[in-house]
Amino acid sequence: MLATVMNELDAPGNAIPAWRDRPALQQPAYPDAEALAAVGADLRSRPPLVFAGEVDALRAQMAAAAQGRAFVLMGGDCAESFEAGSATSIRLKVQTILQMAAVLTYAASTPVVKIGRMAGQYAKPRSVETETREGLTLPSYRGDSVNGHAFTAQARTPDPARMLEAYLRSGTTLNLVRAFTMGGYADLREVHSWNRGFTANPAYKRFESFAGEIDRAMRFMEAAGVDFEALRQVDFYAAHEALLLEYEDAMIRQDSRTGRLYGTSAHLLWVGERTRGAEDAHVALLEGIHNPVGVKIGPSTTPQELIDLIDHLNPAGEPGRLSLITRMGAERIRQALPPLIEAVRGDGRPVTWITDPMHGNTITSDNGYKTRRFDTIMEEVRGFFEVHREMGTVPGGIHVELTGDDVTECLGGGEHIDEAALARRYETLVDPRLNHQQSLEMAFEVAELLR
């Protein structure tokens, strides 16, 4: 068995998509081309992080979500950091996602597809190339797989060796995630008892009766003889933005069963709002691999751009292949989304619609923090559900920036985090994340929309 799995993916030969001939946005300016090439060669010789069979299983689940037979929950840091990747922080993130998934599964009465925005989320697109502090201008921080966050010339110079570190960190993170989710930590009874702890907090009293309903369902399952031991293992997938072309290219492997190419840095890869040009390098790279892929879609997206993206990324209309992750902003989603849905519906090729209610709702607080309001985030989620319900299409999932830690980065929620509280524990390297409690609160509120 092990031998089969190990042989499944080989080095790809010559069939890599010709992304190098296309415009490539948001790539680091590496000072040393030879060092970069050496890292690429090294990565090509290493084992894949995920396997083709797992990737195919996820594609089938994404297809189910497009039809309302499953619901996708994707969550994790805006930018993972090498330093913060401790066992505790990984465990708390997985725990948070499992707790959210339990609530959503009950509400939707369908499986929830659990995808960590983790084990590889190390590269960031930036709106500005440089950052200036007290007269000193340096390259912007682009994620730990590119450069360091510290504001020194040395740290900010892109270093290709960081891609090797990202590969190893991704591998160790995935290893722990697999151990947690396959080793009994995902036991539904345990996960539900954590949720009971959450609803016992007076701030979240309004969710108690819902949690009570799940209690009764669990007791019914137990009485009916459901084998809870068999429910101790769950499928948990990894996803990140495929931003760093040299890294993603070096992680492509060929499935020896079918000859198909797979990106093996994660199960699902997406392109961001800033790099989604249909004729550009990022889309070309995703065109060549057989993974389920996503595209972030902002409010200025035109119907024609979407059709062009589908032409490139899912020409044959394969179910589960393409997810459109809309990030419109709470104020714009109700106007911006319908014409896009209309165009895609008219086209007929299936997509999985997912809402990212984070990136269209970023503000700066009066005391200078990049933040988001919990209520605004929820307002975009509500808009997403409303529009899909009105149009008879399927709201297939949510994509959120979250952490299992008790940080104070987003405003509001049951704990009423205010501007002053942001200073208490603001740790994100790029965008503000929902903390553990805010994430669960979101799950209970989304549950109400799913019922």
Interaction between residue 434 and Co ion (CB under 5 A): no
CA-wise closest residue to 201 among 360, 406, 49, 362: 406
**The only residue of 169, 192, 290, 327 in contact with ligand PEP, by rule CB under 6 A:** 327
> CB-wise, 114 or 399, nearer to Co ion?
399
CB of 76 closer than 8 Å to CB of 241? no
Is position 246 annotated in a ligand binding site? no
Q: How many Cα atoms are found within 13 Å in the side-chain-facing hemisphere of 398?
A: 29
Is position 215 annotated in a ligand binding site? no
Would you call 149 exposed, middle or buried from its count of C-beta atoms within 10 A (0-12, 13-18, 19+)? Answer: middle
> CB-wise, 78 or 333, nearer to Co ion?
78
> CB-wise, 157 or 362, nearer to ligand PEP?
362
For residues 222-241, which are near ligand PEP according to CB under 6 A? 241
Q: Convert 56-86 to b/e letters by CB count within 10 Å (16 or more is b).
A: bebbebbbbbbeeebbbbbbbbbbbbeebbe
**The only residue of 77, 246, 380, 431 in contact with Co ion, by rule CB under 5 A:** 431
For residues 112-171, which are near ligand PEP according to CB under 6 A? 125
What are the two backbone dihedrals, phi and then psi, of residue 251, each rounded to the nearest 5 degrees? -95, 5
> CB-wise, 125 or 160, nearer to ligand PEP?
125
Report, in Å, the least distance between residue 272 CB and ligand PEP: 3
> CB-wise, 80 or 431, nearer to Co ion?
431
Is position 78 annotated in a ligand binding site? yes
CA-wise closest residue to 218 among 236, 193, 182, 186: 193
Interaction between residue 337 and ligand PEP (CB under 6 A): no
Interaction between residue 78 and ligand PEP (CB under 6 A): yes
Report, in Å, the least distance between residue 115 CB and ligand PEP: 13
Return all residues near 209 (Cβ < 8 A) that are at least 6 apart.
none
CB of 340 closer than 8 Å to CB of 306? yes
**Token pair for 4:** 């089969």
Interaction between residue 78 and Co ion (CB under 5 A): yes
Interaction between residue 296 and ligand PEP (CB under 6 A): yes
Return all residues near 384 (Cβ < 8 A) that are at least 6 apart.
326, 333, 337, 353, 355, 357, 395
Q: Convert 196-214 to b/e letters by CB count within 10 Å (16 or more is b).
A: eebbeeeebeebeebbeeb
x-or-dash string of contact with ligand PEP, 177-206, rule CB under 6 A: ------------------------------
C-alpha dihedral over 94, 100, 106, 112, to 10 degrees?
-60
CB of 66 closer than 8 Å to CB of 396? yes
For 176, the 3-state DSSP assignment is helix
> CB-wise, 126 or 232, nearer to ligand PEP?
126
Using the contact rule CB under 6 A, the part of the chain among 28-36, 89-97, 225-233, 270-278 near ligand PEP is: 270-278
Residue of minimal Cβ distance to ligand PEP:
272
**The only residue of 159, 273, 441, 445 in contact with ligand PEP, by rule CB under 6 A:** 273
For residues 239-258, which are near ligand PEP according to CB under 6 A? 241
> CB-wise, 12 or 360, nearer to Co ion?
360
Interface positions with ligand PEP (CB under 6 A) = 78, 125, 241, 272-274, 296, 327, 359, 431
- Binding residues for phosphoenolpyruvate, as ranges, are 117, 273-274, 296, 327
